[in-house]
Amino acid sequence: MQLEINPELAEVRSALRKFTQEQLEPLALEIDRIGEIPASAWALMREAGYLGMQLPETYGGGGFDMSTYCLALEEFSRSSRVFTMLLDYTSGLAPLAIARHGTPQQKDCYLPKLATGEFRAAFGLTEPGAGSDSAAIATNAKKTDKGWVINGRKHYISGGNSAEVILVIALTDKEKRARGGISAFLVEKGTPGFEVTRTDTTIGSDAIKLGELTFEDCHVPDSALLGQPGDGFKIAMGSLTSGRLGVACACIGAADRMLEMAVQHARDRQTFGKPLAERQAIQWMLADSATEIKLARALVYETLRRVEAGEDIGTAASMCKLYCSEMVGRVADRSVQIHGGMALMRGFNLERFYRDIRHYRIGEGTSEVHRMLISRDLLKA
């Protein structure tokens, strides 16, 4: 895939850039200040046709492939991580799992609503006792005559505090666990026995909220099962592999923007009678950031090309997520250093980026977990 020269994608990128700069960017600082996603942001995204981008056109989605979706994440991330979450809630981890594994009835029920943003979906895997070791989940679902009964607790679920539907990953066979003993369920808001018991925010934007979700004898019908019993771990990992490429692209977009800010500031700011841009100490920081962003793009775009070719990209997705999430941290730190004190002032764009990007090294698999996965692949017999 040649993102830079493929005319079709280049056109999509330029439309996305224009939309982001003109429509979304003016809202970014205010969203950070109020800690909420205003209805106007949802309306803009809906009208521009960016909600449900990755969902099939037959269900009202955009029908875009993963490369285009990742490009959108990169562009939206140049303004704010919050805008990438609007895509995630309507077209990311959980919506994609429904599109890939749903029955015709499940697709009819959820996809058209996700495509318009009427419904948002959250991805419920992590638990207090199972983060990196996701196969250690304790939330369980037991078969009954009429369906399933779910018990357990999930936490740190992005958008889980308000989502209309949650993809809940639950244990259905303790002995088998990740090898066929975990299943996936679609649980709707308001289902008796399901409650949002806490809402968390992070050091990043308060507009991105995380839900603690408690299930106490929560009865769901057979039609809530996504895929076959025992498919849940595979379904979750499949979504996460795609999601990791999305995270990598969001990291690239944010890094690119922060480098732009640093270049501009280096040109504008004079110290000791000269612009910062004329100091080698500053030039080297800019050069290192530019080189790392270029390298990140090459790695991710190559992996997206392999997705298009239908190749297995599990390990490559881990490499992309690992490299890009660590790269954006280094770029953010250099950009802050180049700005000096002003970078840390509330209400300044860079300060907001600096807080928002820290989560990328933790969510969707920590750096350590991805190093483990990559080395496991290297060392396998």
By the criterion CB under 6 A, which residues form the site for ligand FAD?
123-126, 131-132, 156-158, 202, 210, 359, 362-363, 366, 368-369
Residue closest to ligand FAD when measured from CB atoms: 131
- Nearer CB in complex with ligand FAD: 53/130: 130
CB of 371 to ligand FAD, least distance (A): 8
Long-range contacts of 297-303 (CB under 8 A, 24+ apart): 297/3, 297/252, 299/248, 299/323, 299/324, 300/70, 300/245, 300/248, 300/249, 300/252, 300/324, 301/1, 301/2, 301/3, 303/245
**Residue 211: CB minimum distance to ligand FAD, A:** 9
Shorter beta-carbon distance to ligand FAD: residue 117 or 124: 124
| Cα–chain center distance at 260 | 23
Positive or negative torsion for Cα 1, 375, 331, 91: positive
CA count, 13 A, side-chain hemisphere, 329: 12
- CB count within 10 Å of CB 197 equals 14
Q: Cα(62)–Cα(45) distance, rounded to whole angstroms?
A: 12
Residue from 216, 351, 364, 368 carrying the catalytic annotation: 364
Q: Is 364 a catalytic residue?
A: yes
Least separation in angstroms between residue 10's CB and ligand FAD is: 32
Min CB(216)–ligand FAD separation in Å: 19
Q: What is the rounded CA–CA span in Å between residue 65 and residue 85?
A: 18
Which residues have a catalytic role annotated?
364
